[in-house]
Structure 1
């Protein structure tokens, strides 16, 4: 940083104006991409899914809570998982300020994890989270939407995740899926994204990307795992393994050598 180029105000304005042209082109391209995303064909969801919620059983239709659009966060948390996924935690932390706005714009937001509901409730209380969060422990939802994998699948060395076959080595991963429910009650799956596709829901990156140091992810993971911690664990040590899971005490980590996808 100390050797960064320094110029006059007029020279800075010239460089900034040149960059502005690229920013405007990027904004236009983003609008075009959003339109293409919304124009994707849909898939009718004909299978019935019953989730375990804080107050009892809930169908997929119940998760819409009277709205026509549903955003589901596939939270990376399997049964008995003691370590918290820092990426999923950072993503849902963004909900505190915007959930009411989503709900009043015909969008319901629900996190889904394969962990049993009691384990989910324990994490929710510890983190102070108030968004809806249900368990798919007793249904096939996670498996059908390619964020959880059976042991026999993992044993083959290739599972279908992020629209390709890959050697994942983990039973549960993260992602985001979108659903629409029409006036007749028919539910459609309209969109899903995984890995870095979820960065569009991490508003903190919008701030970091304009800062002099940028994302500054220069640690061993070259990702948010280099700096993000559960919001109640900053300054308390610990380590994040390559899988994105936080361990309070480094010597208890048993960290995986799993490689990280960067694109």
Structure 2
């Protein structure tokens, strides 16, 4: 089996240092892209979508679960016998939701499939993300997913819901950690080092971080 060349430690460290120059530059570029994303305009969602959830019918505003920001991953669905392995891989890599919730963000799945089939797969996979059926509405098509997958971000302001960001195809590949999810939201990580518009909610890094069962969930996030 082939492998990288074998070199003395000093040569390896020099090559690593050279690579890390590019990695640091990419990190700064990603920070700049995230800052631009936080300054994107937003567009109102005027359609009254009705989803089917475990507790009955739900509008798009209900998917926020009382929070101001919502990330919706449209999980591709072509039947219980043809579960999308890519969407399953994505969902497997979602961490504990308490960290997103602590930053006023809800993450939910939506699929054009019967709710009982969706929830059966959720139980089988051990996932705890909220999952809603869009079988009887046009949400998937309207939000760029069609019969495939996509990720959309929304902001709730009073009784109005706005679409702030959307991506699909390889744009979804690098997602999965809470940092990359938060970078997609209009308020970002909400930390003081970020280049955000004046008045955006922010706290110092590390200050808000908790073990996932130590967040104060008693406060009204709205």
**TM bracket, shorter-chain basis:** 0.7 to 0.9
The answer on 1:88 being equivalent to 2:62 is: no
The CA distance in 1 between the partners of 2:3 and 2:25, in whole Å, is: 30
Q: How does 1:68-147 map to 2 (within 5 A)?
A: 68-78=68-78, 80-95=79-94, 97-147=95-145
User: How far does residue 14 in structure 1 lie from its aligned partner after superposition?
Assistant: 1.3
Residue by residue over 1:12-48, the C-alpha shift from the partner in whole angstroms, topping out at 9 and shown as x without a partner, is 1211111111111111011011111222111111111
Q: Offset of 1:81 from its aligned partner?
A: 4.6
Structure 2: how far apart are the matches of 1:65 and 1:50?
15
Distance 1:31 1:71 in 2: 20
User: Is the alpha carbon distance of 1:68 and 1:3 closer, same or farther for their aligned partners in structure 2, counting shifts above 3 Å?
Assistant: closer
Instruction: Report the alpha carbon displacement of residue 100 of structure 1 after superposing the two structures with TM.
Output: 1.2
Structure 2 distance, partners of 1:147, 1:91, is 15
**Aligned residues: CA RMSD:** 1.6
Gaps in structure 1 of 5+ consecutive residues? 149-171, 204-263
Matched residues in 1 for 2:25 and 2:165: separation? 25
Secondary structure of the corresponding residue to residue 173 of structure 2? helix
- Aligned match of 1:247: none
The alignment of Structure 1 onto Structure 2 pairs a total of residues equal to: 178
**Residues 83-114 of structure 1: per-residue CA shift (max 9 Å, x gap):** 1111111111122x331111111000110000
> CA shift at 1:200, angstroms?
2.2
Q: Is the 8 A contact 1:51 1:58 kept in 2?
A: yes
TM-superposed CA distance for 1:3, in Å, is 4.9
Match of 1:62 in 2: 62
Structure 2 counterpart of 1:34:
34
Is the contact between residue 90 and residue 202 of structure 1 (CA under 8 Å) also seen in structure 2?
Answer: no
| Cα distance between partner residues in 1 of 2:169 and 2:60 | 24
What TM-score, normalized by structure 1, do the two folds share?
0.64
Runs of 4+ in 1 over 2 A off after TM superposition: 1-4
In 2, the alpha carbon distance for the partners of 1:14 and 1:146 equals 45
Whether contact under 8 Å (1:115, 1:135) holds in the other structure is yes
- Which whole-Å CA distance do the structure 1 matches of 2:71 and 2:83 have between them? 21
Higher relative contact order (CA 8 A, sep 6+): 2
